[in-house]
Amino acid sequence: MAAAVVVAAGLVLAYQLRVAPPYPTVAGEPYSISLDADGCPMIPERPSFVDSPGELVPPDPVEVTLCSLPREAFFRPGGEEPTVPLKRVLSAAAAAEFAAILNRLPDRNTVWRDWQRRHSGLWPDAPPSNVEVCLMIGYPYDYTYLLRYSDRPPVALVSGCGTGGHTTGARTRIDVAKPHLVDEFVRLLAT
């Protein structure tokens, strides 16, 4: 009987360890994101994953700018020209709604937990050893956002290989749900 209790307790403990959040709540050293001459956030040359608890961006911006940065591999001098506007702007209520969408994005522990609920059986899968994958799919643009506020400095938001998701340089959230952020921005722009 004692052996059965020890085995059961060991299984319960192993299960709890397996479903516990695999990633630290605070990760990486915060960094600042520079703006280019056009006022668009520049994707850091060597971005790193950084995170901490809290909202991704402060609520209620007065304006959100989406910058579409053509990738050099697609738009060479004398080659094909960009087909989307390089800068688009949301203001007022649409900007506030976009900030609310940003703040609903999950952190990487939540994404992992949701994946476990949907895809694992009775014994959850271990988290992947590679936290991010940099796909060479060949997207023609990198997208960045700049949120402007009436009472605080602007907040730059970038995504890219190395950031692990969308980051402000202090917090990172993962855009796994559809529609994605760019699609939400375009939807709000059309309203």
**pLDDT by residue (tens digit) across 56-101?**
999 999 999 999 887 765 555 666 666 777 899 999 899 999 999 9
Q: What percentage of the chain exceeds 70 in pLDDT? A: 82
Distance in angstroms (rounded) separating the CA atoms of residues 179 and 164: 18
Number of independent structural domains in the chain: 1
> Is 4 inside any structural domain?
no
Range picked from 33-47, 91-105, 106-120, 131-145 for highest mean pLDDT: 91-105
Which structural domain range is residue 95 located in? 26-121+132-190
User: Which tens digit of pLDDT belongs to each residue from 149-175?
Assistant: 999 999 999 987 667 789 999 999 998
**Considering only CA atoms, which of 97, 70, 90 is closest in space to residue 81?**
70
> Is 127 inside any structural domain?
no
> Is 180 inside any structural domain?
yes
> Is 7 inside any structural domain?
no
Helix (H) or strand (E) holding 166: strand 166-167
> Is 66 inside any structural domain?
yes
Q: How far is CA 94 from the centre of its chain?
A: 20
> Is 159 inside any structural domain?
yes
Distance in angstroms (rounded) separating the CA atoms of residues 46 and 36: 16
**Considering only CA atoms, which of 130, 129, 61, 127 is closest in space to residue 89?**
61
Least confident span in 131-145, 157-171, 175-189: 131-145
> Is 6 inside any structural domain?
no
Confidence of residue 133 (pLDDT cuts 50, 70, 90): very low
> Is 18 inside any structural domain?
no
Mean pLDDT, rounded, for 1-16: 83
**Considering only CA atoms, which of 101, 156, 158, 162 is closest in space to residue 133?**
162
Q: For residue 68, what are the β-bridge partners?
A: 143
